[in-house]
Amino acid sequence: MADHLEDDEQVEALKRWWDENGRSTIVAVVLAVGGTLGWQQYQDWDAQQTAAAADTWAQAEAALNADVPSLQAEGERLAQNLIDTHSSTTYAQFAGMVLAKRAVEKGELSAAEQYLRDALAAGDSQSELGQLIQLRLARVLAATGEESAALAILDQSNGSLPAAYAIARGDLHLAAGRQREALNAYLEARAATLDLGSPPGLLEAKITSLESRLANEEQSS
């Protein structure tokens, strides 16, 4: 499940942005609707719920990153508590993704799937974070043998993560023995990667290997 973890840098970037801008963004939204629904109705929610979720997430993340098993266990408990008490917040989505990742590392794929489904339900699936959660869910489903469900999720891409989704499709096709479909998906991923100004890296090796294999098969037939 190494591929399941390769988008951690994108998750970290989203977490950093939310830590820096999340509360101010919520305040701006509340102020925008204040004329219609009233600031007072939302003040307690903003000041208490959001702040509490942010504080719990900070404690959970610090404990989970500690190289001490007892602290990591406490971090998991705090992350679960965050999901239970503030399920509609972005912080709960981050907590669900972290717990899903840890479940995958333990081989607990059913638990990972549930964490990701809950995280997906807590926010907008069309946001970049929502698309990352969908991508990880597809990988978990693929690992459990639910290929059709995984492909259906990957078909829900909104184009915000074109290379990652195409690579995931390619990996699914390759695992199922559909080499031509896998190659087409990898070529799509390479084009998307180059459009973003990034080198294809290991993707190029996959493409070269598949092209060579398919060419040899055609010559043999």
Read off the pLDDT of each residue in 170-196 and give the average, rounded to a whole number.
94
Residue-level pLDDT at 24: 46
Read off the pLDDT of each residue in 87-102 and give the average, rounded to a whole number.
91
Structure-model confidence comparison of residues 155 and 49, the more confident one: 155
Which tokens hold the place of 91?
């912080």
Instruction: Work out the pLDDT band at 81, boundaries 50, 70, 90.
Output: very high
Q: Which of 76-80, 85-89, 145-149 has the lowest mean pLDDT?
A: 85-89
CB distance 168 to 188 below 8 Å: no
**Residue appearing with tokens 């702040």:** 51
The residue type of 203 is L
Question: pLDDT tens across 22-72, in order?
Answer: 444 444 444 454 444 444 555 555 567 778 888 999 999 999 999 999 999
pLDDT at 11 over 90: no
Mean pLDDT of the residues in the chain: 83
Read off the pLDDT of each residue in 189-199 and give the average, rounded to a whole number.
89
**Closest C-alpha to 163, from 140, 196, 114:** 196
Cα 108 to chain centroid distance, Å, stands at 17
| CA 170-176-178 angle, 5° bins | 65
Residues 6+ apart with CB under 8 A from 110: 144
Residue-level pLDDT at 41: 55
Longest distance between any two alpha carbons in the chain, whole Å: 75
Q: What are phi and psi of 194, to 5 degrees?
A: -65, -35
Read off the pLDDT of each residue in 133-140 and give the average, rounded to a whole number.
94
Residues 6+ apart with CB under 8 A from 167: 3, 185, 186, 189, 203
pLDDT at 198 over 60: yes
**Residue appearing with tokens 């087409």:** 184
Residue-level pLDDT at 199: 81
Helix, strand, or coil here: 200?
A: coil
CB distance 207 to 186 below 8 Å: yes
Evaluated on CA atoms 107, 110, 115, 119, the torsion sign reads positive
Residue-level pLDDT at 29: 42
Residue-level pLDDT at 4: 40
pTM: 0.78
